[in-house]
Amino acid sequence: MTGSATTGRVELTLGPVLFNWEPAAWRDFYLRIADEAPVDTVAIGEIVCSKRLALYAEHLPAVLDRLAAAGKTVLLSSLILVTLDRERRQMEELARSSDVLVEANDVSCLTHLVGRPHAIGPFVNVYNEATARFLAGRGARRICLPPELPATSIAAIAAAVPETRIEVFAFGRVPLAISARCVHARLHGLTKDTCRFVCGEDADGLAVDTLDGEPFLAVNGVQTLSCSMANLVESLDALAGMGVASCRLSPQTGDMVAAARVFRAVLDGGAAPYAAPGAARAELARLFPAVQFADGFLHAAPGAEYRGAAPLP
């Protein structure tokens, strides 16, 4: 498979952990990623709730050193939603003082990144070619597109900015919304300021069903996610043909190293185990048996549907 004209190879990116994992587990997860996962880039940092950062901040330097020593490109990701003066100061400090490439997940972060190389995360609404060109002109070297874009839009944007690394959200619960209010705390009779970090009780988010008992969404503190998991493994060849340069895997509980190996096998082709897309989907279903896969957005269909190897629009 080929990627963008600048690389000739589709790479894998591991996105930041969205959930409130126990600090030692968070540290050990990234150390294993550094040592074993065939990913090229790792985005790291607290992007959902600024209160969580203090829980694992002591482990961050060691994790960054280990990832760098393993040859991974590291992105430091900003908050998705900035609502407090404290968060604004944290974001400004991140953008202005970091020696690591910053990934902006909120447009307010871009003010501090103008003219400096940086990345754009999937939470910035890059929906068309003009937006991508504008951001590239201001210093964006890589853009992870929002997960709700169909294939036609992805292809058009990739063609518009051939020197910018275009990335798609290819695996994991799909981030749908962010709020200033914490639903997790409210469900436990608490407020956002006195939440006791109850979101940590649900390592992949708290499942939300409809009144009829059908799986619907997942709640992650102030964030709303899909109940199903995006899985574009059967469309990797088509994405590569559009000029997509990287595919993003979003951390979930389960064996993310094995998931990365499956994606890498499909991207590399040949006789590697699970190199055939159908076999890869079956292996990912074995690794993550408790969830349903979805790729409807890519096919310009309802997001919760799974079309698999069906032709893209």
Tens-binned pLDDT, residue by residue, of the chain (313 aa):
555 544 479 999 999 999 999 999 999 999 999 999 999 999 999 999 999 999 999 999 999 999 999 999 999 999 999 999 999 999 999 988 778 999 999 999 999 999 899 999 999 999 999 999 999 999 999 999 999 999 999 999 999 999 999 999 999 999 999 999 999 999 999 999 999 999 999 999 999 999 999 999 999 999 999 999 999 999 999 999 999 999 999 999 999 999 999 999 999 997 788 899 999 999 999 999 999 999 999 999 999 999 999 999 8
Q: How far apart are CA 7 and CA 267, in angstroms?
A: 14
* 41-95 pLDDT per residue, tens: 999 999 999 999 999 999 999 999 999 999 999 999 999 999 999 999 999 999 8
**Helix ranges restricted to H, the chain:** 23-36, 53-56, 60-69, 85-97, 129-137, 151-160, 183-187, 236-241, 256-268, 277-287
CATH class for the region spanning 11-173+228-299: alpha beta
What are the C-alpha distances in Å from 274 to residues 13, 50, 100, 281, 290? 19, 39, 34, 8, 20
What pLDDT score was predicted for residue 118? 96
**CA-based Rg of the chain, rounded to a whole angstrom?**
18
Q: What is the pLDDT of residue 200?
A: 97
Please enumerate in sequence order all residues whose Cβ is within 8 A of that of 189, keeping only pairs 6 or more positions apart, or say none: none
| Cα gap 170→131, rounded to integer Å | 22
| pLDDT tens digits, 196-213 | 999 999 999 999 999 999
pLDDT at 8: 73
215-220 vs 206-209, strand pairing mode: antiparallel
Closest by CA to 153, choosing from 170, 179, 135, 130, is 130
In the prediction, which pLDDT does 136 show?
97
**Cβ atoms of 252 and 288 closer than 8 Å:** yes
β-strand pairing of 223-231 with 215-220: antiparallel
Among candidates 19, 83, 17, 15, which has minimal Cα distance to 221? 19
Residue matched to tokens 């997942």: 218
- Which burial class, exposed, middle or buried, applies to 53 when counting CB atoms under 10 A from its CB (0-12, 13-18, 19+)? middle
Residues 257 and 251: their CA atoms lie apart, in Å, by 10
Query: What distance in Å separates the CA atoms of residue 156 and residue 97, rounded to the nearest whole number?
Result: 34
Query: Helix crossing, 151-160 with 129-137: angle to 10°?
Result: 40
Total Cβ atoms within 10 A of residue 65: 12
286-296: b or e for each residue (b if 16 or more CB lie within 10 Å)?
eebeebebbbb
Between CA 278 and CA 291 the distance in angstroms is 17
Q: Please report, for the chain, the start and end positions of each structural domain, with discontinuous segments joined by +.
A: 11-173+228-299
